[in-house]
């Protein structure tokens, strides 16, 4: 488990993990997680404290999916993430330039966000 601070102007770069990553929102602006499956399904999860707007206090980024995140408001967001078994450097993968191009082909409507998350 670790804390993750996302500051205004930053993104969580697109990557994949060998295990599901649990996310827990603590405070600040909402975070939008962008998820890209190998089967061509794009989805998002918004973590934040405005439950009336459909934001979630906790959720997961599924294993073997490309995902990245952006801050939806000003300032910062503080969350924590948890993996089981514990994170090891060999469990995390950054996409190659070829994989980024394939994502853009597979998800043409999300090219702008893919570019932002690189």
Chain centroid to CA 63: how far? 11
The Cα-based distances of 32 to 8, 43, 50 in angstroms read 13, 10, 13
Residue 106 clears pLDDT 90, i.e. is over it: yes
Mean pLDDT of the chain: 96
Summarize pLDDT for 36-76 with one digit per residue, the tens: 999 999 999 999 999 999 999 999 999 999 999 999 999 99
Percent of the chain with pLDDT over 90: 92
> Confidence band (pLDDT; 50, 70, 90) for 89?
confident
How far apart CA 78 and CA 69 sit, in angstroms, is 13
In the three-class reduction of DSSP (H, G, I as helix; E, B as strand; rest coil), residue 105 is classed as helix
Backbone angles phi, psi at 28, to 5 degrees: 100, -160
> Confidence band (pLDDT; 50, 70, 90) for 104?
very high
Mean pLDDT value across residues 23-37: 98
pLDDT at 71: 97
């Amino acid at each position: 488990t670790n804390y993750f601070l996302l500051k205004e102007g930053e993104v969580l770069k697109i990557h994949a993990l060998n295990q599901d990553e649990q996310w827990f929102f603590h405070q600040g602006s909402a975070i939008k997680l962008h998820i890209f499956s190998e089967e061509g399904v794009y989805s998002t999860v918004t973590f934040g404290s405005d439950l009336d707007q459909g934001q979630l206090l906790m959720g997961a980024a599924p294993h073997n999916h490309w995902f990245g995140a952006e801050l939806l408001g000003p300032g910062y967001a503080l969350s924590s993430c948890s993996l089981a078994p514990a994170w090891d450097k060999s469990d995390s993968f950054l996409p190659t330039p070829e994989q980024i191009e394939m994502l853009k082909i597979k998800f043409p409507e999300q090219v702008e966000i893919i570019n932002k998350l690189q």
